[in-house]
Amino acid sequence: QSALTQPASVSGSPGQSITISCTGTSSDVGTYNYVSWYQQHPGKAPKLMIYDVNKRPSGVSIRFSGSKSDNTASLTISGLQAEDEADYYCNSFTRRYTYVFGTGTKVTVL
C-alpha cells in the first residue's frame, strides 16, 4: 500500500488561509469517507484534527475544515496562526481493511 500523496510544504502569512491536499486512489480515499487529519508538533504525539472527511472533534478550532473530491481530500486552515505551524498527516481506511497515512506536509507560518 503506497502512502497517500501530500505536498511536502505549505506556507502562509498570519490571517491567511491555506489548503493541504491528500491524494489517494479508488482503493482508499476515493471509496471511503473515512479520511482523518492529524497535527504533529516537533517531539509530540499526533493530534486528531478532522475525521470522517469534515468532522471536527470537540475542542478543535473551527478554523480547521476538511473536504473531499474523488480521490483527493483536503484540509483547510483559515485565519492562520503561529500555533498552526506543525506537520500535518492525512489518513484513510482502505479496501484491504488496513489504513494508510499521507506523506506529511510541513506548514510554515511566515
Partner 1 sequence: QVQLVQSGAEVNKPGASVKVSCKPSGYSFISYYIHWMRQAPGQGLEWMGIIKPNGDITTYAQRFQGRVAMTKDTSTSTVYMELSSLTSEDTAVYYCAREVPETYHFDYWGQGTLVTVSS
Site for partner 1 in 57-86 (CB under 8 A): 57
- Among the listed ranges 10-18, 20-28, 42-50, 69-77, the one in contact with partner 1 (CB under 8 A) is 42-50
Rounded alpha-carbon distances, angstroms, from residue 78 to 63, 81, 101: 5, 9, 23
Q: How many CA atoms lie within 13 A of 37 on its CB side?
A: 30
Asked if residue 51 binds partner 1 (CB under 8 A), the reply is yes
Asked if residue 106 binds partner 1 (CB under 8 A), the reply is no
User: Which lies closer to partner 1 via its Cβ, residue 45 or residue 110?
Assistant: 45
Asked if residue 32 binds partner 1 (CB under 8 A), the reply is yes
Beta carbons within 8 Å of 15's beta carbon, 6+ residues apart = 79, 80
| Backbone dihedral angles phi then psi of residue 82, each to the nearest 5 degrees | -55, -35
Give the interface with partner 1 as residue ranges (CB under 8 A): 1, 3, 32, 34, 36, 38, 40, 45-48, 51-52, 57, 89, 91, 93, 96-104
